[in-house]
């Protein structure tokens, strides 16, 4: 077998990506399409807390919110998952038990990824042993910039193996990659190495997720699907705090990958404040009026 040369990954033209994004942003999502879209968004959120100051109490409160986003509105879905540090996985698993909400844990020396393979594997194993359904790993961006693509591939493959049944999301940290060409390259490596999801950002670096970068990754997912028949999920994370923008992401998924990807099995939003904006919009659609943000819980 000839080893794949990732420096030959398809090229991306920024002007063209921007043009396509402009078309997607011009879509007008109204009425029942909006309500349906907002509920889908809520159901695709990985409600996240990744602070140095996190505690068991904070995590439990967030888990309750994930299950009960806004009880005064009937027929609301839960969020897709909660996303925490490995040390809080046990707490989260207990808190969401029986609700259908998944527990995702960041791992592999999140967010910088600067640590040894041994520690990263152990980090992953702790998360999985404690019951995480999903692992959000970071790639070693330094090695990636050095052109050490085999290292990146092997690391992802090793973590994937350590995940066992847990689904693996691979964070590319696109804000540190510099060009869309490199985003495409990193996406290809991650998918070939076994990623179940590719994810834009840790949320610790600006810019985090953007529409153009997500489009580049969705096109990569499409090419991977055609080449292998394997579906890979997408998770833009960070920087998506309002419903209008989130709806534009859904349009992008619909027009790039089709309806099959429009479930939380294949698309996620990594966000914390997005949920309340979605709830505010849903409340508006139901009652006709906007309510003050004090009416929406902030867990």
Alpha carbons 198 and 192: distance in angstroms, whole number: 11
The three-state secondary structure class of 28 is coil
Alpha carbons 114 and 258: distance in angstroms, whole number: 37
Nearer Cβ to other proteins (57/288): 288
DSSP string, 32-89: HHHHHHHHHHHHHEEEE---TT--HHHHHHHHHHHH-S-TTSTTPPPPSEEEE-GGGH
Helix, strand, coil in percent for the chain, rounding step 5: 50, 10, 35
Active site annotation includes 235: yes
Question: Which of 136, 188, 196, 277 is flagged as catalytic?
Answer: 136
Q: Could you say whether residue 3 binds other proteins (CB under 8 A)?
A: no
- The CB-of-181 to other proteins minimum distance in angstroms stands at 9
Alpha carbons 68 and 18: distance in angstroms, whole number: 37
- The CB-of-81 to other proteins minimum distance in angstroms stands at 21
Nearer Cβ to other proteins (39/117): 39
Using CB under 8 A, which residues numbered 114 to 143 contact other proteins?
none
- 130 contacts 163 by C-beta, under 8 angstroms: no
Q: What is the CA radius of gyration of the chain?
A: 19
Nearer Cβ to other proteins (64/225): 225
Q: Could you say whether residue 15 binds other proteins (CB under 8 A)?
A: yes
Q: Could you say whether residue 28 binds other proteins (CB under 8 A)?
A: yes
Per DSSP (E only), the strands in 139-278 are 167-171, 197-199, 233-235, 269-271
- The CB-of-37 to other proteins minimum distance in angstroms stands at 6
Active site annotation includes 65: no
Q: Which residues pair with 171 in a beta bridge?
A: 138, 199
Q: In the set 32, 51, 75, 294, which binds other proteins (CB under 8 A)?
A: 32
Number of residues that bind other proteins (CB under 8 A): 37
- 137 contacts 124 by C-beta, under 8 angstroms: yes
Q: Which residues pair with 168 in a beta bridge?
A: 135
Q: In the set 4, 13, 145, 179, which binds other proteins (CB under 8 A)?
A: 13
Instruction: Enumerate residues 6+ apart whose C-beta is below 8 A from 14.
Output: 180, 212
Using CB under 8 A, which residues numbered 195 to 224 contact other proteins?
219, 222
Q: Could you say whether residue 155 binds other proteins (CB under 8 A)?
A: no
Active site annotation includes 123: no
- 130 contacts 89 by C-beta, under 8 angstroms: yes
Q: In the set 94, 117, 254, 284, which binds other proteins (CB under 8 A)?
A: 254
Q: Could you say whether residue 265 binds other proteins (CB under 8 A)?
A: no
Q: Could you say whether residue 30 binds other proteins (CB under 8 A)?
A: yes
Q: Could you say whether residue 178 binds other proteins (CB under 8 A)?
A: no
Q: Could you say whether residue 36 binds other proteins (CB under 8 A)?
A: yes
Nearer Cβ to other proteins (71/75): 75
Token output for 190:
């991650």
Given the rule CB under 8 A, which of 22-30, 133-141, 162-170, 201-209 is the region that contacts other proteins? 22-30
Residues classed as catalytic: 136, 199, 235
Give contact residues for other proteins (rule: CB under 8 A): 10-13, 15-17, 19-20, 26-34, 36-37, 40, 219, 222, 225-230, 250, 254-255, 257-260, 262
């Amino acid at each position: 077998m000839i080893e794949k040369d990732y420096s030959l990954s398809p090229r991306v033209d920024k002007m063209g990506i921007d043009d396509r994004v402009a078309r997607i942003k011009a879509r007008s999502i109204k009425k029942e399409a909006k309500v349906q879209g907002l509920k889908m968004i809520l159901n695709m959120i990985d409600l996240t807390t990744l602070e140095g100051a996190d505690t068991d109490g904070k995590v439990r409160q967030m888990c309750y919110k994930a299950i009960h986003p806004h009880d005064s509105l009937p027929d609301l879905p839960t969020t897709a998952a909660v996303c925490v540090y490995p040390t809080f996985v046990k707490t989260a698993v207990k808190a969401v038990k029986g609700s259908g909400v998944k527990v995702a844990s960041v791992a592999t020396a999140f967010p910088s990824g600067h640590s040894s393979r041994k520690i990263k594997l152990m980090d992953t194993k702790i998360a999985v042993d404690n019951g995480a359904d999903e692992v959000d790993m970071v790639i070693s961006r330094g090695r990636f910039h050095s052109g050490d693509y085999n290292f990146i591939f092997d690391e992802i493959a090793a973590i994937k193996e350590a995940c066992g049944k847990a689904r693996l999301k691979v964070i590319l940290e696109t804000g540190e990659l510099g060009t869309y060409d490199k985003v495409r390259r990193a996406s290809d490596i991650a998918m070939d190495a076994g990623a179940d999801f590719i994810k834009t950002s840790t949320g610790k670096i600006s810019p985090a997720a953007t529409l153009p970068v997500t489009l580049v990754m969705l096109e990569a997912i499409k090419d991977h699907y055609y080449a292998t028949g394997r579906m890979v999920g997408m998770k833009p994370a960070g920087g998506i705090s309002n419903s209008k923008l989130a709806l534009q992401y859904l349009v992008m998924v619909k027009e790039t990958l089709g309806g099959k990807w429009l479930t939380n099995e294949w698309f996620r939003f990594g966000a914390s404040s997005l949920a309340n904006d979605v709830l505010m919009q849903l409340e508006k659609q139901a009652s006709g009026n906007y309510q003050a943000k004090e009416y929406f819980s902030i867990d």
